């Protein structure tokens, strides 16, 4: 499995989004920390994936192609993302129907080849075995779309976790994470939640942390800053009753991933 987290926060009076993921990928034969979970969809639009990697890649490839020439405003964003998710699920449904029956679901309905209840069951049982987070900031408004395995799109108001989420979600709730938290605080909260989740063997140890800026630029957090947060965490681990975050963790400037320049 895996773990991916996206969370709104504030920095210098503007909304930003923190993105976090591990690198663990596994199958029936073993696992390795070799899977990049971050995907570019279009300028200013990024995605995190969890679940069956090739299934998630299919979803993201579909979204990348459909979003390419699509003009999206902050008032139309949720409608458009839900429409694309629905169209993908219909595509997947018809693909499976062709494999099994030789016809798409609309063709089966037209031919009246099966009772309506049987046709409905084809759609109701359909899942993707993958989850996706899509993050973007449109005209100063942050959006975190969570697409679950049934294709449902949820616009998360504060943060989203997908994959092996139990430990991380509990920790984020314990921290009382909100979209009004500062960027330094959110970096620490998200990173600490991810590290806490590593007690589950389905969450990898290697961590990548990014920040999405209002202008659409994405920056990766330096390894030296991750080390500073690990050092701060050790102080918290010795006394779990502490809830105050460290005032400063040193230099938290970022480097932009070359593939997104």
Domains of the chain, first to last: 3-54+132-260 (3.60.20.10)
Residue with tokens 């961590």: 207
What pLDDT was estimated at residue 126?
A: 63
Q: Say what the pLDDT of residue 103 is.
A: 72
The pLDDT score that the predictor gives to residue 242 is: 47
Q: Is the distance from CB of 32 to CB of 65 less than 8 angstroms?
A: no
From the first residue on, what is the mean pLDDT of each consecutive set of 10 residues in the chain (261 residues)? Answer: 91 95 82 89 95 87 94 96 92 76 72 67 68 96 94 95 87 88 91 91 91 93 86 64 46 51 42
**Nearest Cα residue to 261 out of 210, 216, 207:** 216
Which pLDDT belongs to residue 1? 67
In sequence order, what E strands does the chain have? 3-11, 14-22, 24-27, 30-33, 38-42, 45-51, 130-138, 141-147, 153-155, 159-163, 207-212, 218-221, 254-255
Q: What is the pTM of this model?
A: 0.85
pLDDT of residue 122: 65
């Amino acid at each position: 499995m895996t773990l991916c987290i996206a969370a709104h926060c504030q920095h210098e009076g503007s909304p930003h989004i923190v993105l976090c993921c591990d690198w663990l990928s596994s199958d029936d034969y073993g696992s390795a920390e070799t899977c990049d979970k971050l995907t570019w969809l279009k300028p200013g639009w990024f995605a995190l994936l969890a679940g069956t990697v090739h299934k998630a890649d299919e979803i993201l490839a579909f979204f990348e192609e459909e979003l390419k020439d699509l003009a999206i405003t902050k008032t139309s964003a949720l409608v458009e993302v839900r429409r694309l998710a629905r169209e993908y699920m219909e595509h997947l449904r018809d693909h499976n129907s062709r494999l099994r029956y030789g016809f798409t679901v609309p063709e089966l309905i037209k031919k009246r080849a099966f009772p309506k209840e049987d046709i409905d069951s084809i759609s109701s049982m359909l899942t993707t075995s993958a989850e996706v987070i899509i993050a973007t900031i449109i005209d100063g408004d942050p959006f975190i779309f969570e697409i679950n395995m049934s294709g449902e799109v949820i616009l998360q108001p504060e943060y989203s976790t997908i994959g092996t989420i139990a430990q991380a979600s509990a920790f984020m709730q314990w921290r009382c994470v909100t979209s009004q938290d500062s960027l330094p605080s959110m970096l620490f909260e998200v990173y600490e939640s991810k590290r806490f989740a590593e007690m589950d063997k389905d969450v990898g140890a290697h961590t990548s942390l990014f920040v999405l800026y209002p202008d659409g630029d994405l920056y990766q957090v330096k390894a030296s800053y991750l080390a500073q947060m690990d050092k701060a965490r050790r102080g918290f681990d010795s006394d779990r009753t502490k809830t105050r975050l460290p005032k400063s963790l040193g230099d938290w400037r970022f480097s932009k991933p070359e593939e997104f320049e």
